[in-house]
Amino acid sequence: MNAASAVALKNVARRFVTPSGDVLSALENFDLTVAPGEFCAIVGPTGCGKSTTLGLVSGLAQPQGGTVTLFDAPVTGVDRRVGFVFQQDAVFPWRDVLGNVMAGPLFRGVPRAQAEAEARDWIARVGLTGFEHHHPHQLSGGMRKRVALAQTFINKPEVLLMDEPFSALDVQTRELMQEELLSLWAQSGAAVLFVTHDLDEAILLADRVAVLTTRPARVKSVHTIDLPRPRNIATLRYDERFVAIARRLSDDLRDEVLRARREAMA
Amino acid sequence: MTDATAPLATEGRIESLAERQRRRWRMIIALRIIVFVLLVGGWELGVRAGWLDSFFFGQPSAIVDKLIDWIRNGTSIGPLWKQVWVTIYEAGAGFLIGSVLGVVCGITLGRNQLLSDVFSIYIKIANSIPRIVMGSIFIVALGLGSPSKIALAVVMVFFVVFGNAFQGVREADKNLIANARILGASNWQVTRAVILPSALSWILASLHVSFGFALIGAIVGEFLGAREGMGLLIASAQGSFDSNGVFAAMIVIAVVALCAEWILTTIEKRLLTWRPEVSAAGE
């Protein structure tokens, strides 16, 4: 892969028409680039349009202005190289774990036997061996996330979009899942665009963190996180370097949140 | 149908929940039997004491005699099993055709905004017509045989199933659809892998109601004009002022409806095993 960028958003605008007929601008003049294999996190005030960016990159939504490219080619629709882990549970409740994980290959025309073998391999990699024939409602929230990760990684995505994937999990489970994600990502070599409202999570996981402004969202600043890899999620939090970065980003984000609140009050 | 809510353990007495539920269940069955005995026994006694005129209201013992007579000697229009079979055949065929049409149209219109915008007005109009009246038209057009009854049953079933299938498609989780598309599903695969399963609980719910409607369609069709079937049996009993015959036919039809209900519930349970509520609810 010789592309300069895995994902690039240039001067992108995305607007919605509200039910009352007003035009609401979610993104304006939005610029962001993610290099191949890079882990980029997006943080910003609540409701600022973080998830909107992922919708545009996935091809599920189209921008009203600017260009969105994947490996230097414009996004025209859902791209096979893209994986997406959603905030809410998006595993199919009527399929068991095996059926969920092999869904992607089957949709893409892989023969059933091969899809099943791959799925069993991925189920083992996310630690769900023995749960192949459980249905999602029989699993815990963390296990359902593992299913979602296996379901996404089995398609070998080159670009992985993640929309606050761990926000619904308890703290301990979230930490485990973050470790899990980092090891899966390290083996996959995919570029990641990870949306979160949790600043610590962004710093622990990412190579770069983009801070967004309030709506309409633009990239306010991009911070490089030069913490060495492989990272230990459990102990990194107490590292001085982590604390310094967290303070810097937190100040940056707080300005934006305060500005959002002033605007909301005005 | 029973309610799925278990009694709340209000007092602190140590007693196993299973034992409480078993006791409650026994009590419910006993109460059901008491209600039955009171109703039917009261009816029989009322007739014997002369408060009710058996000419108009029939008499339970005479209805049972009538049923036995039908089974042994056949009805005035031929053997009983033949009439039952004709009605089951007409209702069943109408039910199958109507529900398949309903599901296909419901999903097609649910998935296609333009089609649903164009056709919604016509569906509303067609749905507001008292459909049973269509029976007269079908009998004129299709004759006294089975096709006219099947057509009436189809019309009765179609709108119920269509409405539910359409709603089921509209209620499908947007996240699941997005996920399927990202995983590589084509439009057809999204319909098969996401839309159909999520609409299935809506569709199955409508099938319970619509088998009853199919039966009504078949019987009313036979009532309006036929050579055989339970509807004709009722009509001929009515014609000879035989109220016991009408009640006996009603009981036969009720048995058919309950059997169909049981079959549908079994199929539903099997199809919806993934749903946590289904395995817990029901008898």
- Tell me: do B41 and B103 sit in the same domain: no
**Cis-peptide, bond into residue A105, ω within 30° of zero:** no
The stretch B119-124 carries a mean pLDDT of 89
**How many residues in total does chain A contain?**
266
Cβ <8 Å between A91 and B183: no
More confident residue, B198 or B14: B198
Chain A partners within 8 Å of B193 (Cβ) = 92, 103, 107
Q: Give dist(CA A173, CA A139) in Å, integer.
A: 13
Answer for the pair A225, A245: CB distance below 8 angstroms, yes or no. yes
Answer for the pair B145, B229: CB distance below 8 angstroms, yes or no. no
- Tell me: do B146 and B190 sit in the same domain: yes
Q: Which amino acid is at A4?
A: A
Question: How many domains does one find in chain B?
Answer: 2
Please check whether residue B143 lies inside any domain of the structure. Answer: yes
- Tell me: do B232 and B97 sit in the same domain: yes
Q: Please give the share of chain A, as a percent, with pLDDT higher than 70.
A: 99
Which residues have C-beta within 8 Å of that of residue A141, sequence separation ≥ 6?
A89, A168, A169, A170, A173
- Residue A217's DSSP bridge partners are A27
Q: State how far residue B199 is from chain A, nearest Cα, in angstroms.
A: 12
The answer to whether residue B279 scores a pLDDT higher than 70 is: no
The answer to whether residue A256 scores a pLDDT higher than 90 is: no
- Tell me: do B37 and B106 sit in the same domain: no
- Tell me: do B145 and B194 sit in the same domain: yes
State residue A74 phi and psi, 5-degree precision. -60, 145
Cα-Cα-Cα-Cα dihedral sign, residues A173, A179, A184, A190? positive
Minimal Cβ distance to A155: which of B184, B194, B275: B184
* Residues of chain A in Cβ contact (below 8 Å) with chain B: 58, 60, 78, 80, 82-84, 86, 88-96, 103-104, 107-108, 135-138, 151-152, 155
Residue of B108, B200, B88, B217 lying closest to B157 (CA atoms): B217
Residue B237, burial from CB neighbour count under 10 angstroms (0-12, 13-18, 19+): buried
Q: For an interface test with A, which of B182, B190, B201 has the most A Cβ atoms less than 10 Å from its Cβ?
A: B182
Please check whether residue B61 lies inside any domain of the structure. Answer: no
Minimal Cβ distance to B274: which of A86, A94, A152: A94
Residue whose token pair is 């910003």: A44
- Tell me: do B23 and B158 sit in the same domain: no
**How many residues in total does chain B contain?**
283
User: Among A41-55, A161-175, B198-212, where is mean pLDDT lowest?
Assistant: A41-55
Cβ <8 Å between B197 and A90: no
Answer for the pair A181, A205: CB distance below 8 angstroms, yes or no. yes
- Domain span at B249: 73-280
Chain B partners within 8 Å of A80 (Cβ) = 184
Chain A partners within 8 Å of B173 (Cβ) = 90
What is the reported pLDDT for A262? 83
Minimal Cβ distance to B185: which of A93, A107, A136: A107
Q: State how far residue B279 is from chain A, nearest Cα, in angstroms.
A: 12
Residue of A196, A103, A198 lying closest to A147 (CA atoms): A103
Do β-strands A73-74 and A82-85 pair in parallel, antiparallel, or remain unpaired?
Answer: unpaired
More confident residue, B16 or A113: A113
- Tell me: do B160 and B264 sit in the same domain: yes
Q: Give dist(CA B68, CA B70) in Å, integer.
A: 5
Q: Give dist(CA B267, CA B193) in Å, integer.
A: 19
- Tell me: do B126 and B174 sit in the same domain: yes
Q: Which amino acid is at A174?
A: R
Please check whether residue B79 lies inside any domain of the structure. Answer: yes
Please check whether residue B233 lies inside any domain of the structure. Answer: yes
User: For the segment B93-103, what is each residue's pLDDT rounded down to a tens digit?
Assistant: 999 999 999 99
For residue B123, the domain's CATH number is: 1.10.3720.10
Q: How many CB pairs under 8 A join A and B?
A: 67
Q: State how far residue A110 is from chain B, nearest Cα, in angstroms.
A: 11
User: For the segment B126-165, what is each residue's pLDDT rounded down to a tens digit?
Assistant: 888 888 888 888 989 998 889 999 999 999 999 999 999 9
Please check whether residue B191 lies inside any domain of the structure. Answer: yes
Residue whose token pair is 């109009």: B125
The answer to whether residue A56 scores a pLDDT higher than 60 is: yes
Q: Scanning every residue of chain A, which has its alpha carbon at the shortest distance from the alpha carbon of B277?
A: A137
The answer to whether residue A192 scores a pLDDT higher than 70 is: yes
Q: Please give the share of chain B, as a percent, with pLDDT higher than 70.
A: 92
- Tell me: do B43 and B127 sit in the same domain: no
Q: Give dist(CA B166, CA B163) in Å, integer.
A: 5
Cβ <8 Å between B179 and A90: yes
What is the reported pLDDT for B212? 92
Cα-Cα-Cα-Cα dihedral sign, residues B134, B135, B139, B145? positive
Please check whether residue B60 lies inside any domain of the structure. Answer: no
- Tell me: do B20 and B119 sit in the same domain: no
Chain A partners within 8 Å of B181 (Cβ) = 60, 78
What is the reported pLDDT for B76? 84
Cβ <8 Å between B184 and A83: no
Cβ <8 Å between A82 and B182: yes
Please check whether residue B65 lies inside any domain of the structure. Answer: no
Cβ neighbours around A133 below 10 Å, total: 10
SS (H, E, C) chain A: CCCCCCEEEEEEEEEEECCCCCEEEEEEEEEEEECCCCEEEEECCCCCCHHHHHHHHHCCCCCCEEEEEECCEECCCCCCCEEEECCCCCCCCCCCHHHHHCHHHHHCCCCHHHHHHHHHHHHHHCCCCCCCCCCHHHCCHHHHHHHHHHHHHCCCCCEEEEECCCCCCCHHHHHHHHHHHHHHHHHHCCEEEEECCCHHHHHHHCCEEEEECCCCECEEEEEECCCCCCCCHHHHCCCHHHHHHHHHHHHHHHHHHHHHHHHHHC
- Tell me: do B48 and B125 sit in the same domain: no
> Of all helices (H) and strands (E), which one includes residue B218?
helix B196-224
* Residues of chain B in Cβ contact (below 8 Å) with chain A: 173, 175-176, 178-186, 189, 193-194, 197-198, 200, 273-276
Q: Please give the share of chain B, as a percent, with pLDDT higher than 90.
A: 60
- Tell me: do B154 and B185 sit in the same domain: yes
Residue B265, burial from CB neighbour count under 10 angstroms (0-12, 13-18, 19+): middle
The answer to whether residue B281 scores a pLDDT higher than 90 is: no
Please check whether residue B275 lies inside any domain of the structure. Answer: yes
